[in-house]
A and B are shown apart, each in its own frame.
Chain A
Amino acid sequence: MRRLWRWLIPLAALPVLALLAYGFRVNPRDIPSPLIGRPAPAFGLATFEGAPLSLAAHRGKVVVLNFWASWCQPACYEEAPILERNWREYRDRGVVVVGVDIQDRREPAEKFVREFGLTFPNAQDLTGAVSVDYGVYGVPETFFLDRQGRTRFKHVGAVTDAVFRANVDRLLAEPGSP
């Protein structure tokens, strides 16, 4: 009986240790988005030039939806030229890059667009409605939408050439009926 007790205490600690080990290995910032596989929330914004920007206008295309901010150093500054370069490379193949500037002021945001010579449509989400609709919790975050308008992949952090190509190529390879 006494022997059993002596073993029981360290044994009881085991599941606690296992739980802690699991908890410390998981990145608390790495939260799976419930939006994956579901229709991407629609939105209607105005670009910095004043042109209407909506998701509906790009139905049938692969959409790379990028959330950024001018104060987001350095990740947004790293990915901006990559997004621009890939947009130019892919735009004729039914791919559109859409930038949504969140929690920002207009002047620094416009400066950001000018500095990187961004030619893909960029709009400000002044009320935060679009960022909350997409469950955005930081910048940069990028969503890859398929031709059917569903959210398929989410990338947290700066987009690299490899991430852009891998996701877009995969979506382009899918048989897509617009």
Chain B
Amino acid sequence: MSRLGLRLLTSLFFLSAAVSPVTAQPAAPVSEETVHEVAAQLRCVVCQNLSVADSPSEMASQMRAIIRDRLAAGERPAAVRQYFVDRYGEWILLSPPRRGFNLLVWLFPLAAVVVGLATVTLLVRRWTRRRDVRPPPVDVDPAMSERIRRELESGS
């Protein structure tokens, strides 16, 4: 047996030993993907802008274990998420729910882009229009233009 396999087995053993007293019913197989999916939505409480899925901190790994245990006990991913929200508040969610005051977070960038685009189009239009406007042809006295021509020639 490969060393990796052995390590996997021992860790599985410890994992099952850790999980079994918490969940009396036969533990449903929990895919790590589901654990990751829930963990990725939660803010690591001891980090700055890191999810529970990405943080190497002990707190985050304990939280991942709690997520795993709860999923194994048959809880839906949404219920596990709610468990954390009930304790930490909406702050724990990396993306705030789209309602109420939070909508500002979602709508503000959109509004900023719209306003920015409008400003740019307005300015571009103004600049291009100015280029079209040519100075009106000036009426020059033919005698005067003849004199300018002569002076230019003699000056060179």
List the interface of chain A (C-beta within 8 A of B). 12, 19, 31-35, 103, 127-129, 131-138
Contact B62 A132 (CB under 8 A): yes
Q: Which of B46, B91, B104 contacts A31 (CB 8 A)?
A: B91
Say if the beta carbon of B131 comes within 8 Å of chain A.
Answer: no
Q: Report how far A137 CA is from B65 CA in the complex, Å.
A: 16
| A137-B46 contact, Cβ under 8 Å, with A12-B115, A31-B91, A34-B86 | yes
A-B interface, 10 closest residue pairs, ranked by CB to CB distance from nearest: A128-B62, A137-B45, A135-B87, A135-B88, A34-B89, A31-B91, A103-B58, A132-B66, A103-B59, A31-B89
B87-123 residues with Cβ-Cβ distance < 8 A to A are: 87-89, 91, 104, 115
Instruction: For B48, give the chain A residue with the smallest CB separation.
Output: A28
Q: Report how far A144 CA is from B45 CA in the complex, Å.
A: 21
Contact B87 A128 (CB under 8 A): no
Question: What are 19 pairs between A and B in contact, CB < 8 Å?
Answer: A32-B89, A34-B85, A34-B87, A34-B89, A127-B66, A128-B59, A128-B62, A128-B63, A129-B66, A131-B59, A131-B62, A132-B66, A132-B87, A134-B87, A135-B87, A135-B89, A137-B45, A137-B88, A138-B46
A residues less than 8 Å from B62 (CB atoms): 103, 127-129, 131-132
Q: Report how far A32 CA is from B89 CA in the complex, Å.
A: 8
Contact B88 A128 (CB under 8 A): no
B residues less than 8 Å from A103 (CB atoms): 58-59, 62
Q: Report how far A19 CA is from B112 CA in the complex, Å.
A: 14
B residues less than 8 Å from A128 (CB atoms): 58-59, 62-63, 65-66
Q: Report how far A103 CA is from B60 CA in the complex, Å.
A: 11
